[in-house]
Amino acid sequence: MTLKEIKELLQAEVITGDDCLDMEITSAGGSDLMSDVLAFGKPGILLLTGLSNAQSVRTANIIDAKAIVYVRGKKPDKIGIELAREKGIPLLSTKYMMYTACGLLFSHGLSGVSRLPHKK
Amino acid sequence: MMNNENELSQHFEITGGDFSKAGKTSTSIKEILQEIGIDPLIIVRMAIAAYEAEMNVVMYAQRGVLTLNITPEKLRLKLEDEGPGIENIDLAMQEGFSTATDEMREMGFGAGMGLPNIKKNADKFEISSTPGKGTSLNIIICLDKKG
């Protein structure tokens, strides 16, 4: 799924990274807790979060997340936006709540990074 | 930065309580590893360990020094901080145990995942602490095997 499709599905606003909308996204994870993103995130994911301070962008950069979607209409602060520009991480903002935003993406085929063992 | 044929070493100073700069050091460490051309999956592991260690200093200590050491065989990250130290290391190593304040949690941290996550990303992890004085971490990630 491209970032452009994600933007349309979530009726999201692009905060920075307009030129990156062709980016291909293959998995995503949602959390407001950066500790958990660092523990369970995987390189290449789209991060959905409601945490709008600069640590969200730093965390995304550290784990090599491809892009961030802020949920519940949140928007990052100036420091976060600057950092995202510098690191080439597109930032989007959607008014959907976390559950709905994740559900919309998942139901359109974007998989998660679940660690549950497969049942035999 | 110290540099000789087989080893590169750099110190980074971290100030406790300075949330505005939190994460800068780990971002620099990540950039250094990228410039050298280290395997991206190993870089992510070291970057996560460095970020967790840096956040611990910012959240709990007065100051700390992170030292990154790179040899052809391994990456080593040493942290020495001056701070309250850890009373019970076994407890601190348990996922979910945390003494974080509301301010730390508002930053998205303090879930009690930090130290266990550093250990998970390291090939070798050592921790020692003197309550009232500070904490030392020694984190090693090997380069000579596939991570």
Confidence band, pLDDT 50/70/90 cuts, at residue A120: very low
Tell me, yes or no, if A58 comes closer than 8 A to chain B by beta carbon. Answer: yes
Residues A111 and B142: their CA atoms lie apart, in Å, by 31
Choose the closest CB to B26 out of A35, A39, A62. Answer: A62
Helix (H) or strand (E) holding A29: strand A28-30
User: Are residues B51 and A62, on separate chains, in Cβ contact within 8 Å?
Assistant: yes
Query: What topology does CATH give the domain A3-107?
Result: 3.40.1390
pLDDT digit string (tens) for B62-108? 999 999 999 999 999 999 999 999 999 999 999 999 999 988 898 88
* Amino acid sitting at position A53: N
CA distances from B138 to A5, A79, A101, B66, B78 (A): 44, 31, 40, 10, 5
pLDDT tens string A75-90: 999 999 999 999 999 9
pLDDT digits (tens, 9 = 90+) for A39-65: 988 999 999 999 999 999 999 999 999
ipTM score for this prediction:
0.86
CB B83 within 8 A of CB B101: no
Q: What is the CATH number of domain B2-142?
A: 3.30.565.10
Chain B partners within 8 Å of A43 (Cβ): 40-41, 44
Dihedral pair phi/psi, residue A7, rounded to 5°? -60, -45
The reply to whether A63 touches chain B by the CB within 8 Å rule is yes
- Domain ranges across chain B: 2-142
Nearest CA among A101, A118, A112 for reference residue A40? A112
Other C-beta atoms closer than 10 Å to the C-beta of A38 total: 26
pLDDT in tens, A1-36: 999 999 999 999 999 999 999 999 999 999 999 999
pLDDT of residue B147: 42
Amino acid of residue B55 = M
Q: Report domain extents, chain A.
A: 3-107
pLDDT at B48 over 80: yes
pLDDT digits (tens, 9 = 90+) for B8-42: 999 999 999 988 889 999 999 999 999 999 999 99
B98 CA: distance to closest CA in chain A (Å)? 11
